[in-house]
């Protein structure tokens, strides 16, 4: 797998983590719209994973 492909997989995983947390919060909207500490931590981890994946999305150095 190329570095770009690996970066896309990692970025996709980060987006899935963040999306799951937003979905959980949307389901709880009727009871409590506050973000819990575990949800905030999960979003922070997803953000860090996305930032770490960005350098992998640049060019591989191989010819097109």
pLDDT digits (tens, 9 = 90+) for 5-55: 888 888 889 989 888 888 887 777 766 667 778 878 888 888 888 888 888
Q: Is this model's pTM higher than 0.85 or not?
A: no
Tally Cβ neighbours within 10 Å of residue 9: 13
Measured in degrees and rounded to the nearest 5, phi and psi for residue 60 equal -75, -20
Q: Are 42 and 21 in contact (CB under 8 A)?
A: yes
Q: Are 15 and 54 in contact (CB under 8 A)?
A: no
């Amino acid at each position: 797998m190329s570095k770009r492909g690996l970066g896309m997989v990692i970025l996709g995983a980060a987006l899935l983590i963040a999306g799951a947390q937003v979905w959980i919060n949307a389901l709880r909207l009727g009871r409590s719209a506050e973000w819990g500490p575990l949800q905030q931590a999960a979003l922070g981890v997803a953000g860090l994973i996305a930032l770490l994946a960005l350098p992998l999305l640049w060019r591989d150095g191989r010819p097109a």
